[in-house]
Amino acid sequence: MKNRKLILQIAAVFIGTIVGAGLASGQEITQFFTVYGGMSMWGILLCFIIYLTIGKIVINISLHFKISSYKELIEIVSKGFLGKFIDISTGFFLISSSAIILAGSGSLLKEYFHCSRWIGIILMALISLYVLLRDTKGLIEINSFIVPSLISIILISFALYIIFWKNNINLTKLLTIPSKNNFYVLYYINKFKLNFLGPYIILISSLLYAGFNTLSCSGVLVPLSEEIKDKKSLITGVFLGALGLTVLTLIMNFLLLINQPYIYKYDIPMLYIVNRFGKLIQIMLLCVIWLEMFSTEVSDIYSLGKTMEKSLNIKYKLSVIIIILIAVPISQIGFVSLISILYPLYGAISFIFMVQCIIFYLKRKKELE
Segment-wise mean pLDDT, segments of 10 residues, the chain, 369 residues: 82 82 76 85 93 93 88 88 86 80 80 82 88 75 80 86 74 65 58 63 85 81 86 93 92 88 80 81 81 80 84 86 88 65 76 90 86
d(CA 150, CA 154): 6
Is 220 part of a structural domain of the chain? yes
pLDDT of the residue at 285: 80
All residues at 6 or more sequence positions from 288 whose CB lies less than 8 Å from its CB, including other chains: 24, 146, 149, 150, 153
Is 1 part of a structural domain of the chain? no
d(CA 26, CA 37): 15
Containing structural domain, residue 20: 7-368
Is 2 part of a structural domain of the chain? no
Is 72 part of a structural domain of the chain? yes
pLDDT of the residue at 22: 63
Calculate ∠ Cα 276-268-182, nearest 5°. Answer: 110
d(CA 273, CA 276): 7
Q: Report whether 9 contacts 235 (CB < 8 A).
A: no
Q: Report whether 230 contacts 4 (CB < 8 A).
A: no
d(CA 326, CA 331): 9
Q: What is the tally of structural domains in the chain? A: 1
223 preceded by a cis bond (ω within 30 of 0): no
All residues at 6 or more sequence positions from 278 whose CB lies less than 8 Å from its CB, including other chains: none
Is 103 part of a structural domain of the chain? yes
Q: Report whether 18 contacts 150 (CB < 8 A).
A: no
Which CATH number characterizes residue 358's domain? 1.10.4160.10
Is 26 part of a structural domain of the chain? yes
pTM: 0.82
Is 124 part of a structural domain of the chain? yes
Is 210 part of a structural domain of the chain? yes
Phi-psi region of 332 (alpha: psi -120 to 50; beta: other; left: phi over 0): alpha
Element (H, E) at 287: helix 279-311
CA proximity to 11, closest of 199, 240, 205, 344: 240
pLDDT of the residue at 336: 60
